[in-house]
Amino acid sequence: MITISSADKELEKKTILKEYRLLLRTLKPKLKSTSDKMDIRRAFEMAVEGHKDMRRKSGEPYIHHPIAVAQIVAGEIGLGVTSVICALLHDTVEDTDLTLEDIELNFDKNTAKIIDGLTKISGSFELNMNTTQQAENFRKLLLTLTDDIRVILIKIADRLHNMRTMDSMASQKQKKIASETLYIYAPLAHRLGLYAIKSELEDLSLKYTQPEVFQDIVQKLNETKKERTKYINEFIAPLKELLEEKKFNFEISGRPKSIYSIYNKMKTKQVSFEEVYDLFAIRIILNAPLEREKSDCWGVYSVITDLYHPQPDRLRDWVSTPKTNGYEALHTTVMGHQGKWVEVQIRSKRMHEIAEMGLAAHWKYKENSQDNALDEWLERIRETLSNPDTSTMDFITNVRQELFNEEIYVFTPKGELKRLKAGATALDFAFEIHSAIGMKCIGAKINHKLVPLSHKLHNGDQVEILTSSKQQPNEDWLKFVVTSKAISVLKKTLQEEKKITAEIGKEIFEKKLKQFEIPNTDHNLQTAIKYYKYVSALDFFFNIAAKKLTLSDLKDLAVQGGKLMIPANKSEQGESFEDRIKRELKKNAELLIMGESSDMIKYGFANCCNPVAGDDVFGFITVNEGIKIHRTNCPNAVQLMSKYDYRIVKTRWNKQHEIAFLTGVKITGLDDVGVINKMTNIITGQLKINMRSLSFDTDDGIFEGKIMVYVHNTQQLDMLIDELKKLSGVLSVSRIEDNEKGDR
């Protein structure tokens, strides 16, 4: 129980009122009447009263949270009065005595409906061994698209404020929430056009999932800030002069890349911070009338490329063809002075507002635009949601891929533009036209040339779909379709066919029971499913019908009192690994690798990241291989923590025996006589480290090598990397982070 003095209470009250007045100032342009202001005041007072005895983990009054969410909704997303009211009251129905009826009585049905949507998707981050609660929450979140998209926008604001104020939480909880944010909420913000929020969510996620990496990049950005500012000013000066000569009305500014985008580039390109060539971008915002926006953007592009040489394959034209989320701009990368690449973004004020505010600005300008790409995407999500048979995890995987993927633009035979995710095939295009066409598709003509169903489409392709009434979909199609609509429709159809086949299997099973004089009861069915190690009756019956399972040994099982009994040795084997984990770890909060508690449990090290003693790690309960130990910065960590948080086991190193861990280093440098000999002398001679394999490729005087070694801990690995870096001619040495480790 926290005791607050009267002086502190008075100070808290003043702070709350100050935040409320700031909210009103932000919302002022949207307040159309006195009743609007009264409604906001009423919502504020109801929230203050409802949350009066509640405090956050940090110790501050809980009311700060809904006010902050409302401020984000109004100031950073640009929504209006109803959304702000809902943001202020978003936790009241779940956490206080207020009901939806109270909300409707004080405001209206629409407000109550939005708050109902927010209540249904309120997040619980507790571990659950039976279901993925957050995955189900995400599905509920997207279901609100069919009702009111403001629910999603308020939820994103809620998540953003939670991420901004997560310092007082336990580290493990921070990692799980941050992983889910990176896996679900950042892509969602990206697709809805909230680029500033998306970048902040990514940066904050990195801060909590990999704090050392985050702080290292922040420190290096701060150290190079003066140098970068000077460079940007020198780059802008002649450009500004030329644009003013051409009478453009514009604003120009430089900005650093987000911390997460720098990290992502370092990771994907396997380069150091110093080697990331485009650390900053220049943004030019034009004050131009709608009818002149496009021509002015290209006019500015012409001026830039007259002054600086462009990188030909880095031009992005989202002015002629906006992104699905409404984003419009011209992007180009040019070679500045001192031989540095600089990204330049060109957009109008209207385009800039859409880029910053996303959906809210999109609908504000919608009546002046012929583009309805965002509405088309929302409709596709609705179609995917309408399939009741899609499993929650499949659904999330499919939709998430749609959220963050790059797009391609292709045309129908009549010249109609269609947007698809990059990597889409002819079959995806067929399903995009209509589900019935996809089901009967036998091939396509791309630019008048015949191609198979699996042919990948490219920007500008003209696609004609060929169909046949005799065509039937099959499971192989799922290997190459990539759009959520195609995957969803196919899985639904194949599932229906599976059910029909399973009915035949059910009849075979019932005949076998009768043959062996075993009663046909639900208990006996469930016992048989468990005995044959299937997870559902559908799979069990389907495999019987497909002749992948014979039932001959049913006759050998005992029947007592009409009940089928599994032999004792089989029963013990039937205990799920998850149940065993719960049983073995019930006295311990975590798994101690190389410790006593781990001796009772089967575990191994994940090949995708090859953990070494000393790495920050977590355990993941697999279906067949016990617990797999992953590094927290493993390429798969975000997906595992967000999708399967109930299977995560808190893990740390305890007794570090003299055990050798397999890991690898990647080396690049100048090819020279004796360079490999020098490296092996350091590894085996100087540091006494065992090598597993060594492979080198050379090209035009540059070598690239991969060395797999056995080390005892991260300190020994770091020492190896430091020593190799000292060698003359070595350009870079880094730990191999992914599963491309060559010969292991």
List, for residues 433-484, the tens digit of each pLDDT value.
998 999 999 889 998 888 888 999 988 889 999 988 888 888 889 889 988 8
Domain with CATH 3.30.70.260 in the chain: 661-735
Q: Residue 331: exposed, middle, or buried by beta-carbon count in 10 A (0-12, 13-18, 19+)?
A: middle
Identify the CATH homologous superfamily for domain 661-735: ACT domain (3.30.70.260)
The top-scoring range by mean pLDDT among 43-47, 274-278, 670-674, 730-734 is 43-47
Q: Which of 215-224, 513-522, 530-539, 574-583 has the lowest mean pLDDT?
A: 574-583
Among candidate residues 12, 19, 36, 95, the one labeled active-site is 95
Long-range contacts of 715-719 (CB under 8 A, 24+ apart): 715/614, 716/687, 716/689, 717/612, 717/663, 717/665, 719/687
For residue 529, the one-letter residue type is I
pLDDT given for residue 126 in this prediction: 37
CA distance linking residue 438 with residue 431, whole number of Å: 4
Question: Where are the CATH 1.10.3210.10 domain residues in the chain?
Answer: 6-209
- CB proximity list for 602: less than 8 A, separation 6 or greater: 625, 626, 627
Q: Which of 36-45, 194-203, 393-402 bottoms out in mean pLDDT, i.e. has the lowest?
A: 393-402
Residue 295: band (very low, low, confident or very high) from pLDDT cuts 50, 70, 90: very high
User: Residues 304, 297: contact at Cβ < 8 Å?
Assistant: no
Average confidence (pLDDT) over 30-54:
89
Confidence band for 147, pLDDT divided at 50, 70 and 90:
low
pTM of the predicted protein model: 0.65
Q: For residue 94, indicate whether it is catalytic.
A: yes
User: If 0-12 CB within 10 Å is exposed, 13-18 middle and 19+ buried, where does residue 638 land?
Assistant: buried
pLDDT in tens, 683-696: 888 888 888 888 88
Compare 362 and 331 and report the one with higher pLDDT. Answer: 331
Residue with tokens 């499919």: 398
CA-to-CA distance for 508 and 551, rounded, in angstroms? 9
Q: What is the mean pLDDT of the chain?
A: 81
Q: Specify the CATH number of the domain 6-209.
A: 1.10.3210.10
Per-residue pLDDT of 207-259, as tens digits, reads 999 899 999 999 988 888 888 888 889 999 999 999 999 999 999 988 778 89
**91 tagged catalytic:** no
Q: pLDDT tens digits for 175-191?
A: 888 888 888 788 888 87
Residue 615: the pLDDT is 81
Q: Considering only CA atoms, which of 546, 407, 421 is closest in space to residue 475?
A: 546
User: What is the dihedral sign for C-alpha 409, 412, 416, 418?
Assistant: negative
- And the tokens for 624? 């067949």
DSSP 291: G
CB crowding 477-509: b at 16 or more within 10 Å, else e: beebbbbbbbbbbbbebbeeebeebbeebbeeb
* Percent above pLDDT 90 for the chain: 21
- Could you tell me which residues come within 8 angstroms of residue 501 by beta carbon, excluding any fewer than 6 positions away? 542, 545, 546
Name the pLDDT band for 89 (thresholds 50, 70, 90): very high
Catalytic residue among 94, 274, 379, 697: 94
Find out if CATH 3.30.460.10 is the number for domain 218-368: yes
Q: Is the pLDDT score of 298 beyond 90? A: yes
